[in-house]
Structure 1
Amino acid sequence: MNIYSEVSSIRGVGLKLEEKLNKTGIFTVLDLLLYFPKDYEFVTGNSTFDEIVDDEKQILTCKAICFEKDFRTKTGKRLTTLNFEYMGHKVIAKWFNQPYIKNNFRAGENYNLMGKFKKEKNTLEIINPIIACNDAIKNEIVPKYSLKNDLTNKIISKLIHQVLDKIKITENFPYYLIEKYNLVSLDDAIRNIHFPSYKEGLERAIARLKFQELFTYSMKLLLVKKHIKEVKSGIEFKMAEELKDLKNSLPFQLTTAQTRVIREILMDQKRPYPMNRLVQGDVGSGKTIIALIAMFNVYMNGYQVALMVPTEILASQHYKEALKIFKGFNINIEQLTGNTSLAEKRRIKEIIKNGTPVVVIGTHALIQDDVEFANLGLVVTDEQHRFGVEQRSKLINKSKEADVLVMTATPIPRTLALYLYSDLDVSVIDELPPGRKRIETVFFQNNLRAKAYSIAVKEIEKGRQIYIVCPLIQEDEKGNLNSVEKLFYELKETYFSDIEIAMLHGKMSGKEKEEIINRFKCGEVKAIISTTVIEVGVNVPNASVMIIENAERFGLAQLHQLRGRVGRGEYQSYCILIANAKNNITKKRMMIMTESTDGFYISEQDLKLRGTGEMFGVKQHGDSGLLLADIIEDMMILKCASQEANRVIDSKDCINIALVEEISKNLERNSKYICFN
């Protein structure tokens, strides 16, 4: 079986199943093998009381003892409770709205109860357990795949089983690397990640594949950088005479750091090979004006410029800022997003295609195949961490000669930036504009939430506005986390009964989000309850309070990003962290936020406290192009993989030269970062 064969070559895959697999992104046998489980269910059979772990699914053989009388909860649910005994310990099983369940049990008989048992001293409690069959008492690890288009775990597992029964995956890593890092073979890794028989085998499989993925990721970055430096095929831009006029027209004075970074960019633009630079600056450090000046110079040289941002809100923000800054210089500025009308899209694409100098500000719409730049001189991506190398490359490939400038407001520790941005030259804006008032940050435990909202109401009474951020859109199953919807209705009935408030989240259409943001900007809406969709791109100087619910669920760098949404005007601003801080590490993290507003210091502390932590909040493997690894969480693996990739690239050894060629070939054939021979 050829791993590059279409998935229809697998026995049992007919037209309907092939269509479902294709819609899920599975086109070839290789795609199927790389469709890794998103999670695993660890089912343990008849563990001792001490071995039972709260968050892991168990099957316990329990003896039914007695039934308690049903009653209704405060929320109107009917609660049925049965008492069991397990190895001398009382087991309390509860079912909601299932009064008929007691008909399945007889006192004195044994039953296999399956679910997550919670320890309460010497007692076990379980909610809505399932009655498992008698032959289900065994330890197993059940893979859970991301399911779409009516696919099931059973279908995917069956197909992968069929493939693995017919092939043996050839090793494609040098033996010295496998030996040096004690890695399992590629064949073992693929088999164990799909069908692990024990926990250690699964962990070793994941470690091997993460290393391989980050090694290949690093190789790609290094090959890109090497190519740019070796092939002098860039555009040598001249310094536009109008640059001086633009600087004099600015309504503010540039900081020393901004001036230094602008000089670095303009020097890059004069060189004969393409610029490939990252501008990294803290929240509010003034990255936008730096990008606009770089774009201005390229436009004045007669070229086209593309600025790609992750959200339509941010695209609109930059578009309006560009119109304001470039006023009086007769610059053609266009906005291209998913919400742009078809007629407007056709008009803008025609301008782009015929080579007319233009500044185009947009979202992912810029990387569509039918957007053809005839004269692209500069590509700028803002909030770089939200675009993977693949997405960046797709825009960059619109012109092989174009300069590349990427920006991020997420402070990355300098030690990590070396590996994370190995394909880029890095400029750091380490100075904030003068006159910025320090944002007062306070932390309240959950039981003191009322204090947070009393501060918010007082600020609204003064004429200010507020943001409230939650980790979820809808209420979670356990009800432990605040969600946008739940909090919106709760606040509407309590603190904000006479105040105009609105919800904002990523599931809304671009038009709905824009309407709410505009109502907030003009002061009609006083408070927005939102997910982290407002993390970037919302600039309202009148907003003076940021309340973050369940703050323990966010990385410190993301909390810092959210805090940066306030303090943008003349008013004293506040960031209020509400957290369920049960342990010292969580409390320490909250204290770091209250004591410091330095993003670089905060990110360093985040690394120390959380290992490497999810500095960008929720993992977005799909956005980065990575299947398993997380470039922040797996920093130590990235560091080793990057060092080995550097050695291979610089080596004259025949084996390493062959490896570079093989990886280059496979990356052209397959965009995923785990390559097969």
Structure 2
Amino acid sequence: MSNELVMKMRLTDSVQYVKGVGPRRAVQFKKLGIETVGDLLYHFPRRYEDRRTSLAAVARHGDTVCLEGTVVAGQELKPRRGLTITKLAVCDGTTTFYTVWFNQPYILRQLRPGARIAVAGKVDRSFGRVEIHVTEWEPAGGQTLSTGRIVPVYAGTEKLPQKVIRGAVQAALEVANEVREFLPPAVLHRQNLVELARALRQVHFPASLAEAEAARRRFIFEELFLLQVALARRRAMTHRATKPFRYGPDGPLVAALRESLPFRLTAAQERAWRQVAEDMQRPEPMQRLLQGDVGCGKTVVAVMALVKAQEGGLQGALMAPTEILAEQHYLKLQDILAPLGLKPYLLTGSLDQETRRANLEAIATGVAGIVVGTHALIQDEVKFARLGLVIIDEQHRFGVRQRAMLQDKGVTTDLLVMTATPIPRTLALTLYGDLDISIIDEMPPGRQPVQTFYVAPEGLERLYERIREEVARGYQVYVVCPLIEESEQLQSHAATELAAHLAERVFTSCRVGLLHGRMRPDAREEVMDAFRRGQIDILVTTTVIEVGVDVPNATGMVILDAERFGLAQLHQLRGRVGRGRARSWCALVGAPRTAEAKARLRALVATNDGFQLAEEDLRLRGPGEFFGVRQSGVPEFKIADPVRDVQILEAAREEARRVVEADPDLRHSENAPLRAAIEARFGFTATRLGIS
């Protein structure tokens, strides 16, 4: 934690001033994200080793042990060039054992007969006597950090050995007694938590494993509690705010929209719309997350909200993460809104200057009631006349700052965020605890599950024949290139080569198109338009089609080197097919080598249920990697795991609710340290969360 928790001590001092560190080692510590004394104290051990001293006589072959004794004799062996073996005979009072070092000849000069030492390492009884291959040693008798105790093991670097990190932490702990506790006393008592100064000592140098566990529990709770207080504070602040505008019940425009739709809303869509409409009609601003699986019909609910805003004399803005998705939304809105006499406006970076100027003017004067765009919407020159509703699509692709910048273009705007990446409950609590959640858990009638199957590389020819048959029946197919994360340029180059190969060698009688992220926006739109119109049979593409692309006539998808993709990404890609009435399929081509890659592909073949896949993805990857925790604006966890620690998360959430209900502004004297801790923990985010 980057700690302004200071109080009478200098946790904010540079780590270089810690005894044993200095400027040179401070550079190495910075590589671990450690720049201050506070950072060092919050660099928690990854695990512990029980190195409490035992006797040589009971040491078993292969065990890792810690032995202590007096050096009796020493010798140096050089069995071959480049190898020096140093052996010391050491007596622990009952048994003589032998310590072994490789290529450390200075040991013989340092440890003369009579020296008392403690050594840790692996036991070898192959030669009928106890030998220990030493990993660490210390002089015995004084204060030891690496032997004779429960020893912390940290994430380190090649130039920062464990002994150096332990020594630095020990030196930093000298200031721990003056660290000011910031968890409220009542919370500490109810949750039976170790107080901060003692927890810092116990988490690094515990007297027992039980002591280490108690300290770790305190810091897991602390990390989750600070976030939950911040989210609860945001929620309370939102509920106290009042919108400067009012909506009535659904009017004739919303009714006309319902009548014009070529389908009836599902029960889940109706439930979600009722929740959104009721939020919009309340005096406090809406803060709602709308989530549902790929193709469940979230967009229709968003369109209804936009129409309700325009009917109320306000503007609505829908922000999407990519130009392709923004353009897709724009085209769909054009079709849906035309019967109502409404017109959407588009704002992206690739618009020509004349169109851009005209659209900016329409937004500024209020002529544009419904606006769709990308990050271009948050640029300074974009001024809204009466922005009342902000919708963020694929929320996890935007940072907190970007979402806030669009909201700030209105006054106390309603906010609806959408995601097609189903979020397991534990992460929803963690990341979106400030939002009400609507779930569309039902597919529109007629949507058939996508048949998914695995194809080994040697089965490609048969798969190509299936693609030809699909095209012959009048349908279209996507071919997704292998993922090259290191370089978009390499990715685009690979896609170009693959498209040329397929067009010239494999599908000579088919129309093959190409789409990748480095194409000019107008060229991308030209390709997508041709694919929508059926003028391209096979579209070779990168992951630019991952979200939002909707071509009902596309019934087949081939994902090459599928093992390179994450589970959520594979599910999103698969969601591009199965959008019409015809039966659709998705072929996962690859040669997975790791157990995790095989598990991902098996999971995708087994189910079309995005929520089930999200739980599996979270289990396989853990919360740190599950879709952009950092991108969402919430810091990565140092010690907590919301999945593993779900019970602590629930307790932290309940305690946060109690604290914020009793003191929404954290103004009470007992909560002042907590307020400071949240500001230190979240930085900019705290401002957005109302903790400032």
TM-score (structure 2 length as normaliser): 0.65
| Residue in 2 that maps onto 1:407 | 418
> Tell me, which stretches of 5 or more residues in structure 2 are unaligned?
6-12, 17-34, 47-61, 64-77, 87-101, 105-145, 147-151, 161-167, 205-211
1:183/1:395 CA distance change after superposition, 3 Å: farther
| Residue in 2 that maps onto 1:216 | 226
Pairwise CA distance, 1:419: 4.3
1:142/1:412 CA distance change after superposition, 3 Å: closer
Pairwise CA distance, 1:555: 4.3
| Residue in 2 that maps onto 1:334 | 345
Per-residue CA deviation, residues 4-23 of structure 1 (Å, 9 max, x unaligned), is: 9xxxx9999xxxxxxxxxxx
Are residues 1:231 and 2:260 paired?
Answer: no
Q: Is the 8 Å Cα contact of residues 448 and 583 (structure 2) preserved in structure 1?
A: yes
Q: Does 1 or 2 have the higher relative contact order (CA < 8 Å, sep 6+)?
A: 2
Letter in 1 for 2:274: R
| Residue in 1 that maps onto 2:478 | 466
Q: Is the 8 Å Cα contact of residues 625 and 672 (structure 1) preserved in structure 2?
A: no
C-alpha distance in structure 2 between counterparts of 1:441 and 1:475, whole Å = 29
| Residue in 2 that maps onto 1:529 | 541
1:218/1:402 CA distance change after superposition, 3 Å: same
| Residue in 2 that maps onto 1:309 | 320
Letter in 2 for 1:657: N
1:529/1:181 CA distance change after superposition, 3 Å: farther
Pairwise CA distance, 1:297: 1.2
C-alpha distance in structure 2 between counterparts of 1:410 and 1:448, whole Å = 31
| Residue in 1 that maps onto 2:630 | 621
| Residue in 2 that maps onto 1:100 | none
Letter in 2 for 1:411: P
1:206/1:456 CA distance change after superposition, 3 Å: farther
Letter in 2 for 1:430: D
Letter in 2 for 1:228: T
Are residues 1:670 and 2:684 paired?
Answer: yes
1:181/1:343 CA distance change after superposition, 3 Å: farther
Are residues 1:281 and 2:292 paired?
Answer: yes
Letter in 1 for 2:415: V
Letter in 2 for 1:497: R
Q: Is the 8 Å Cα contact of residues 474 and 484 (structure 1) preserved in structure 2?
A: no
| Residue in 2 that maps onto 1:298 | 309
1:668/1:284 CA distance change after superposition, 3 Å: closer
| Residue in 1 that maps onto 2:388 | 377
Pairwise CA distance, 1:503: 5.5
1:557/1:301 CA distance change after superposition, 3 Å: same
- Secondary structure at the aligned position of 2:421 is classed as coil
Q: Is the 8 Å Cα contact of residues 332 and 359 (structure 1) preserved in structure 2?
A: yes
| Residue in 1 that maps onto 2:121 | none
1:240/1:663 CA distance change after superposition, 3 Å: farther
C-alpha distance in structure 1 between counterparts of 2:308 and 2:444, whole Å = 23
Pairwise CA distance, 1:382: 1.2
| Residue in 1 that maps onto 2:111 | none
C-alpha distance in structure 2 between counterparts of 1:343 and 1:255, whole Å = 41
Among 485, 497, 520, the residue aligned to 1:489: 497
1:486/1:360 CA distance change after superposition, 3 Å: closer
- Secondary structure at the aligned position of 2:235 is classed as helix
Q: Is the 8 Å Cα contact of residues 631 and 638 (structure 1) preserved in structure 2?
A: no
- Secondary structure at the aligned position of 1:671 is classed as helix
Q: Is the 8 Å Cα contact of residues 678 and 691 (structure 2) preserved in structure 1?
A: no
- Secondary structure at the aligned position of 1:278 is classed as strand
After the TM superposition, which residues 105-184 of structure 1 pair with which residues of structure 2 at under 5 Å, given as runs? 172-173=182-183
- Secondary structure at the aligned position of 1:497 is classed as helix
Count of residues paired in the alignment: 578
Please report the RMSD computed on the Cα atoms of aligned residues, expressed in angstroms.
6.0
Pairwise CA distance, 1:236: 2.2
Per-residue CA deviation, residues 494-538 of structure 1 (Å, 9 max, x unaligned), is: 68625465654556554554444344434336232313x322021
Q: Is the 8 Å Cα contact of residues 485 and 503 (structure 1) preserved in structure 2?
A: no
Pairwise CA distance, 1:431: 1.7
Q: Choose 629-638 or 592-601, whichever is displaced more.
A: 629-638
Q: Is the 8 Å Cα contact of residues 488 and 502 (structure 1) preserved in structure 2?
A: no
Letter in 1 for 2:631: G
1:616/1:387 CA distance change after superposition, 3 Å: farther
1:111/1:570 CA distance change after superposition, 3 Å: farther
C-alpha distance in structure 2 between counterparts of 1:396 and 1:464, whole Å = 40
- Secondary structure at the aligned position of 2:505 is classed as coil
Q: Is the 8 Å Cα contact of residues 501 and 529 (structure 1) preserved in structure 2?
A: no
| Residue in 1 that maps onto 2:408 | 397
1:535/1:560 CA distance change after superposition, 3 Å: same
| Residue in 2 that maps onto 1:646 | 657
Letter in 1 for 2:684: N
Among 667, 671, 677, the residue aligned to 1:657: 671
Per-residue CA deviation, residues 322-363 of structure 1 (Å, 9 max, x unaligned), is: 111110433342111222345544443444334445211111
TM-score (structure 1 length as normaliser): 0.66
Pairwise CA distance, 1:621: 1.3
Are residues 1:455 and 2:463 paired?
Answer: no
> Tell me, which stretches of 5 or more residues in structure 1 are unaligned?
13-28, 41-49, 52-62, 67-82, 88-109, 113-137, 146-152, 154-160, 194-201, 477-481
1:470/1:175 CA distance change after superposition, 3 Å: farther
Letter in 2 for 1:621: R
| Residue in 2 that maps onto 1:43 | none
C-alpha distance in structure 2 between counterparts of 1:547 and 1:181, whole Å = 54
Per-residue CA deviation, residues 80-138 of structure 1 (Å, 9 max, x unaligned), is: xxx99999xxxxxxxxxxxxxxxxxxxxxx999xxxxxxxxxxxxxxxxxxxxxxxxx9
Pairwise CA distance, 1:561: 1.9
1:508/1:460 CA distance change after superposition, 3 Å: same
Q: Is the 8 Å Cα contact of residues 502 and 512 (structure 2) preserved in structure 1?
A: no
Q: Choose 453-462 or 325-334, whichever is displaced more.
A: 453-462
1:280/1:498 CA distance change after superposition, 3 Å: same
Pairwise CA distance, 1:287: 1.0
Taking only the aligned residue pairs, the percentage that are identical comes to 34
Are residues 1:435 and 2:449 paired?
Answer: no
1:600/1:356 CA distance change after superposition, 3 Å: same
Pairwise CA distance, 1:302: 0.8
Letter in 1 for 2:236: K
- Secondary structure at the aligned position of 2:338 is classed as coil
Structure 1 or 2, whichever has the larger Rg, is 2
- Secondary structure at the aligned position of 2:382 is classed as coil
1:413/1:671 CA distance change after superposition, 3 Å: closer
Q: Is the 8 Å Cα contact of residues 262 and 290 (structure 1) preserved in structure 2?
A: yes
Letter in 2 for 1:658: A
1:228/1:2 CA distance change after superposition, 3 Å: closer
